[in-house]
Amino acid sequence: MGWLRCLNTPITNWAGRRVWIVGASSGIGAALAAELNARGARLALSARSGGRLKELAAGFDGVLVLPLDVTDPGAFTLAMLQILDAWGGVDVVILSAGTYMPMRAWDLTVDTARQTVHTNLLGVVDGVAAVVPQLLRQRGGAIAIVGGAAGYRGLPEALAYGPSKAALINFAETLYLDLAPRGVSVFLINPGFIRSPQRVACMDFEMPALVAAPVAARSILRGMSRGVFEIHFPQRFPFLLKLLRWLPYRMYFRVAARSRMLKRDA
């Protein structure tokens, strides 16, 4: 039956597969790079920190190191040209670059909000625009977008971060509608809290169901092997936020107001 088919083409064998990871210097991106290298993928790694990328790639074989800033117009196009020159094509593009700055209403500044939205949302849009023409020419391939469970519903301290992730969810859904009929897979990755030095330093509240980056990487690849559209983990936290999407505002605001995050003084 058609509705039981996989939404995406399952990826079960990574040996020799050409994979470009953007946001590969830390967190999920770095963990995916290590896991995919172990599985025999050919890797191109991008992030702002060229030094960190070189350290990561030093333990791998035949890696393309392509530093770029996702907020720099034209950076994706230049990197894509380098990949095409080296490989002649690309099979999977994973867009995991992102930034988080805790923000409450009394902390809101336009500059910080713009930086968050530019990095988390427009950086992904630029990346997709650079790779889609090649994937369509190949009549195949996959794009994986790292969104976040914070995009399911408004959360404390996520005044700019949450909307950027909510927009990514909508963007990925719309992208799937356009590309799936043309043979290009679109994966949406919505993680909960990931253990990383940057995230722990920014958040001064308890993070439920905290997941280590290597565990997150394996969860992502497991989801891609099943050909699902949305990959979310750990199961408990994103599932809870999904349930909260069904609550009317009166009930949701009451639940959210009881959280430890909102009880802290301004």
DSSP string, 32-45: HHHHHHHTT-EEEE
Q: How many CB atoms are located within 10 Å of the residue 3 CB?
A: 5
**Structure confidence at residue 266 (pLDDT):** 32
CATH top class, domain 12-259: alpha beta
| Among 152, 161, 176, 252, the one annotated catalytic | 161
Catalytic residue status for 100: no
CB proximity list for 188: less than 8 A, separation 6 or greater: 145, 147, 168, 169, 172, 173, 176, 229, 230, 231
Report the alpha-carbon distance of residue 41 to residue 18 in Å, rounded: 6
**Structure confidence at residue 194 (pLDDT):** 73
Report the alpha-carbon distance of residue 131 to residue 81 in Å, rounded: 10
Each of the 266 residues of the chain gets a pLDDT tens digit; together they read 455 679 999 999 999 999 999 999 999 999 999 999 999 999 999 999 889 999 999 989 889 999 999 999 899 999 999 999 999 999 999 999 999 888 989 999 999 999 999 999 999 999 999 999 999 999 999 999 999 888 888 888 889 999 999 999 999 999 999 999 999 999 999 987 676 555 544 444 455 557 888 999 999 999 999 999 999 887 666 667 777 778 888 888 888 777 654 444 33
188-213 burial, b if ≥16 CB within 10 A, otherwise e? bbbbbbbebeebeeeeeeeeeeebeb
